[in-house]
A = this chain, B = another copy of it.
């Protein structure tokens, strides 16, 4: 099961087997055939570790995300994967569950694997990690955190714009009593949405109120948050969620309580994951183009035709407002008053 075994069986040197395996065209046809035959008969699988050790490179791209359970991250991963496979790269993912410790250990693992490039799609980045990665000798791309640098590309979404659109829409429908359901409020990128909410509200509807509830990034988390929110009056007329996943959880709780959406309360999500179309009512949300993000990641991480990875840039991606069935005019009299 080693190169040498194949070489012996084919009656050639290991160098030649290596050439055949790597598609170097210099090998004579007949030799190549003999080698291939030996490889097949031995069911030989090159040891990838030896390969990347000897070669010094790795055709593997690393992707670190905060929460694979959230389809948002999974979609990005899949987009990257699809590009990678098309170009003969492998992908390896790691999940941080929003913890800085896991992030640190994942980064070390990826660096240890000598990945060709590393995408960091998390909300919990701290300065140390950023610094460490800046000195790493590979292209790195941060999503939503860190800053562009020599080997660092930064991709960010203009959340502010998305939030503004939601706020405009909701206030135009007469809403002024809001709730914001989120997770990990302390983390920077998430905080940005919340601040954007305050800011746009200040302009669109200065006297509006907003209660914030925090829970985990999951269906259950959304539901729990809604439960918490509903524990005390007054029930807001609009519930904005930091993402679709939590919004679907919110929808569930409201339905159980026979609170109608959007008649009694409007609900919005963020991301536009597939599920947002399939839940009931379909979610008004903001589309974040995961495909585009994935492709951009891939291009920033791998050398293009001209031979150089296009790292060091900053990309800003504009989200798109999507109106569906979970939003409507604010209820006029407070039927939930106690």
Chain B positions within 8 Å of A90 at CB level:
109
Q: Decide if A144 is an interface residue (CB 8 Å cutoff).
A: no
Our pick among B43, B68, B275 for the contact of A135 (Cβ within 8 Å) is B43
Copies of this chain held together in the complex = 2
Given A255-B280, A280-B255, do A48 and B249 touch, yes or no (CB 8 Å)? Answer: no
Fill in one digit per residue for A93-120: 1 if any B CB lies within 8 Å of its CB, else 0. Answer: 1010000000000001101111000000
Chain A positions 59-83 with a Cβ under 8 Å from a chain B Cβ: 68-69, 71, 74, 78, 81
Fill in one digit per residue for A261-294: 1 if any B CB lies within 8 Å of its CB, else 0. Answer: 0000000000000110111100000000000000
Among the 9-residue stretches A49-57, A159-167, A194-202, A232-240, the one with 4 or more Cβ atoms under 8 Å from chain B is A49-57
Main secondary structure of the interface of A (DSSP, over half): helix
Contact-size category for A: 35 or more
Chain A positions 214-229 with a Cβ under 8 Å from a chain B Cβ: 218-220, 223
Q: Decide if A11 is an interface residue (CB 8 Å cutoff).
A: no
Known A-B contacts: A49-B50, A219-B277. Give 15 more (CB < 8 A).
A45-B108, A45-B111, A48-B109, A48-B113, A49-B49, A49-B58, A69-B71, A74-B74, A81-B95, A218-B274, A219-B274, A219-B275, A219-B278, A252-B280, A279-B279
Q: Show the binding face of A for B, using Cβ within 8 Å.
A: 43, 45-53, 58, 68-69, 71, 74, 78, 81, 90, 92-93, 95, 108-109, 111-114, 132, 135, 218-220, 223, 248-249, 251-252, 255, 274-275, 277-280
